[in-house]
Amino acid sequence: MRVLIVEDEYITRTFLSSIINWEEEEMTLVSLVKDGIEALNIIEKESIDIVITDLKMPKMDGNTLIKELKNKNFNGKIIVLSNFDDFSSVKEAMKNGAFEYLLKVTINKDELLGVLNKAREELKESNKLIKDNNIVEISSEKLKVDEYLEKYLKGDKSIDLEKSLENKYLKDYTFIYLRALSTDIENIEKEKKLNAFISNIISSCALYINSKFISLINIKRNEYVIFIKANKESDDINLLISNITRNVAQYLDMEFEKVIHKKCSNIEEALKLIEIQREEDDYKINSKVAKCRKEVKKIVEYINHNLGKKLSLELLAKLVNMNESYLSRIFKDELDMTISDYIKIKRLEKAKELLKQSDMRVKDVAINVGIQDQLYFSRLFTKFFNITPSEYKEKYNKL
């Protein structure tokens, strides 16, 4: 089901686009626009099932838009947004054919989703839910490209993509690399929330930047990449990046430590850029350690040489004769990561090297780096490197 949001207030537009995981609900947020004129332009170009529109807007208000859509024999459903003092406008909208109305001040996810699902059911019953063969064909193409990109960027070089699709979507495209602060992505829920939020922002901007293809891929716990095949130049790409970074900071209280975008001529250029950023990240950690106070250096050195042992905060604090909370604070201040994150990264890096040894079993590697639970080790390794320990071992030993 394809949805268009028409709302002149930026905050309300952003709120409406982000409170629902559109993909999860099997809906597509086609675009966000500011007034009725922009909405009509979109509807002329795109197939739309549901229009969610404000009533009071500049240039063309909601009721004028509804009348125009009625004159154009629009078969979809129209949901209007109103304030407490808009009763007469709401009454006119319903009289002109609006399906339902929602109060802006009280609207929430469940209420909006309920009305959308109700509209979807009525469209299905009347057999007016859009079934555009061209859209299905294009979606099928993009799904193939999405699948290829995700597997390729996560290390599977065996997957092939039809040359025609590669030329159509992955030649002379814009590539965006986003790396969030690892301390902001503490668990899988935060990762999913950030992924869904970025996805919603991209969906809302897709038509604005006149894109032929946009793909968002979460390649690592805190790493995201976006591929854009667009007709317009970088000004709109910069606006998209600004929307992502600003909204993520404002609504999720998260930051990106690295944001890069570049015009690429092929897929290999994107992969190279990712590798360079990761190398720079490793160098940055080592450079920071060199400049740290002696207590932090001592802790880092001890961790690096004792990864197979139990490393508790209590033990590390005693080594440098410091209070545990104070040690935690200065470690994070100087290295931009928690002690537990540093230990985790170093253990997994060592595990990667050990797995290259043909005589080392996965279980032995886990124990060797201080992780007794093999299942937990496998989950952690897979999450960090996007490949299971067994697959990595097999793949490396084939080289």
- Separation CA 232–CA 253 (nearest Å): 31
Q: Which CATH number describes the domain made up of 133-279?
A: 3.30.70.100
Neighbours of 59 (CB within 10 A): 11
Q: Which CATH number describes the domain made up of 2-125?
A: 3.40.50.2300
Residue 315 pLDDT class (50, 70, 90 cuts) = very high
Residue 100 pLDDT class (50, 70, 90 cuts) = confident
pLDDT at 103: 80
- DSSP-assigned states of every residue in 168-190: HHSSSEEEEEEEE-GGG--SHHH
Q: Which CATH number describes the domain made up of 292-398?
A: 1.10.10.60
In this predicted structure, the answer to whether residue 239 has a pLDDT above a threshold of 90 is no
Helices 267-291 and 324-335: angle between axes, nearest 10 degrees: 130
Place of tokens 């979109």: 42
Longest dimension (CA), the chain: 78
pLDDT for 106-149, tens place per residue?
788 888 888 898 888 888 777 655 544 444 455 677 788 888 88
Residue 244 pLDDT class (50, 70, 90 cuts) = confident
Show me where the domains of the chain are located: 2-125, 133-279, 292-398
Indicate the pTM of the whole model.
0.48
- 35 and 58 in contact (C-beta within 8 Å)? yes
In this predicted structure, the answer to whether residue 210 has a pLDDT above a threshold of 80 is no
